[in-house]
Amino acid sequence: MTVPSHLPFAPESSHSRSLGALLARLLLGLALLSGGGAAAWFTVSRDLQPGLTATDTVQAVPLGSAHALRAELTTDRGGLSVMELPASSANSATQAARLQAHHRQFNPLQMEGKQQGSTLTLRAQLLVDPAPAPNTLNLQPGGQPVEHQLTAGLSAALPLDLSTHSGGGDQALDLRRLRLRSLTAVSRSGDQRVMLPARSLQGVDLSSRSGTMNLTAAGGTALDSLKMESTSGELQANLSGAQVTQLSVGSQAGDIQVQLPRRVNAVLSSERGDLDVTLPAGASGQLHLNTERGSTSLNLPENTAFRLSFPELGPAQARAHAAQLPSSLTFTDGAYLSPAARQASGNVPLLDIELELPAGADLTLNLRPASASDAAAAEGDTQP
């Protein structure tokens, strides 16, 4: 059909109609996409939670009618500190403990307390989820990580049995003012620093996989048993003013540095680490040292009455160590005797040292000059 050119509007061709429909569909699709995106963003924004934001939680544990406290404290990736509950803090007389945690919001402090008889059992956990929960938002400045920390202030009025467990964080246990009865501290890779009170304790058991362990016992500390174990961490202990009925210190690959008490019943061993042992004046008892590859260093006053033997070696091999020992020692009956041991009467207690070392091991025996206090201590041991 022919359309007159003088008509005001001419009908669209089929080509024009298809192009227009296509453009309309494109515009509609863009509009729907834009609207859908806005709707999707609205939904996500509505569900976002600031779970990575750091916060501090403080929780008081009432004393109730309890006369003893058993505390079990656990962190897997955070630090752990224990100390005396300050007497100046509010309501301290009516509290058994006060816990403070620095943590992300979605890693809350978990705590429960239960009293059975006169003993209150407190369990607290601060566990760090390495994978944030879905739809969480980090509101820390610059997305900084949060150093999780659990701090426990415990009542000094209650007899205490304490157990601590940590994963990658350090443990700092200042127990000098607490009525501690027993302690078990376990760490996977963090350091341990433990300070014991000057009182009688049933037992202390410390273990770590790879962290450094440092133990200090105040003068007057009396331990039925003390055990320190590490896979590869360094072990340090100052027990010079303590009394330890039974002592065991061992490491597979870490060095051991120990200051021992006067009365000794101890086994110290390291497969591939060095041993550095210091004894005070008047030391007596049994001391067994064992290392397979590391060096051994013994430090004690020259007036100490001691007997040094190599139970795993024959007489000829034992004599081979003479070049590493002071010339003042005398080899008698398969052992080396100090001058004080040779001159001692029957009522003088001896220090019996057994060294389990491979042939050719590095051995150093340092006999320091006796001070006035050393002489007084040695003289005191000769009294009936």
- Which range has the worst mean pLDDT, 20-34, 249-263, 271-285? 20-34
How far lies 272's CA from each of 151, 250, 291, 294, in Å? Answer: 35, 11, 7, 5
DSSP annotation of 376 reads H
Q: How confident is the model at residue 142 (pLDDT cuts 50, 70, 90)?
A: low
- Contacts of residue 247, defined as CB under 8 A and 6 or more positions apart, other chains included, come to 223, 225, 226, 227, 239, 260, 264, 265, 266, 267
Q: How confident is the model at residue 25 (pLDDT cuts 50, 70, 90)?
A: low
CB atoms within 10 A of CB 344: 18
Asked whether residue 84 is domain-assigned, the answer is no
Domain tally, the chain: 1
Asked whether residue 160 is domain-assigned, the answer is no
Instruction: Let me know the angle formed at the C-alpha of 181 by 180 and 187, rounded to the nearest 5 degrees.
Output: 75
The per-residue pLDDT for 1 is: 42
Asked whether residue 1 is domain-assigned, the answer is no
Alpha carbons 303 and 30: distance in angstroms, whole number:
96
Asked whether residue 176 is domain-assigned, the answer is no
What range does the domain containing 253 cover?
191-370
The per-residue pLDDT for 359 is: 72
Q: In 3D, which of 143, 72, 74, 148 has the Cα closest to residue 105?
A: 148
Beta-strand ranges (E) seen in 48-158 are 54-62, 68-75, 79-84, 95-104, 109-116, 119-126, 149-154
Asked whether residue 251 is domain-assigned, the answer is yes
The per-residue pLDDT for 111 is: 96
Q: Which two tokens stand for residue 91?
A: 């309501």
The per-residue pLDDT for 13 is: 46
- pLDDT surpassing 90 at residue 8: no
Alpha carbons 221 and 225: distance in angstroms, whole number:
12
Asked whether residue 315 is domain-assigned, the answer is yes
Where is pLDDT greater, at 87 or 135?
87
The per-residue pLDDT for 376 is: 58
Please state the pTM of the whole predicted model: 0.81
Asked whether residue 218 is domain-assigned, the answer is yes
Reported as a single tens digit per residue, the pLDDT across 74-115 is: 999 899 999 999 887 667 889 999 999 999 888 999 999 999
Asked whether residue 69 is domain-assigned, the answer is no
Reported as a single tens digit per residue, the pLDDT across 29-60 is: 555 545 544 433 333 333 445 567 889 999 99
The per-residue pLDDT for 137 is: 54
